[in-house]
Structure 1
């Protein structure tokens, strides 16, 4: 989660631009919010997403490769 100092350079997304950034539909973004898997903030009745929070969500789902196996078959 970014600090308040980083927020000045962080982009704030609405639901449509967050969905475009994640390359998914609005429905999935709403579901991730409902499941509390995606950090968000509210501006009145509207949802807003910091780009760093969207990046953190993507990083959390990243699967790292383990490299070549050292065991020979």
Structure 2
């Protein structure tokens, strides 16, 4: 079975930049990389996270609010 690799597009972010965007410590993006929960790129011994992969990760975790209908109690 052939696997298709998608090429990262856009800017490549450092772990520090990704952490800043997520408003977390650098440990969290590193954990995402270690657990293979986010797409990343190895450049030698450096690790970069594609900007679009980070946006997809944020979008996937977005939870929409629930609208409650206020009805009359009968």
Q: Report the TM-score when normalising by structure 2.
A: 0.76
Q: Counterpart in 1 of 2:27?
A: 27
Max radius of gyration: which structure?
2
Q: What residue ranges of structure 2 are gaps of 5+ in the alignment?
A: 1-5
CA-atom RMSD in angstroms = 2.0
The number of residue pairs the alignment matches comes to: 68
By percentage of residues, which structure has more helix?
Answer: 1
Instruction: Tell me how far 1:26 sits from its aligned partner.
Output: 0.8
Instruction: Tell me how far 1:59 sits from its aligned partner.
Output: 0.5
| Counterparts in 2 of 1:67 and 1:47: CA distance versus 1, 3 Å | same
Q: What residue ranges of structure 1 are gaps of 5+ in the alignment?
A: none
User: Which consecutive segments of 4 or more residues in structure 1 shift more than 2 A?
Assistant: 68-73
Q: Report the TM-score when normalising by structure 1.
A: 0.77
1:21-60: CA deviations, max 9, x gaps?
1111111111111111111111111110111100000011
| Counterparts in 2 of 1:67 and 1:42: CA distance versus 1, 3 Å | same
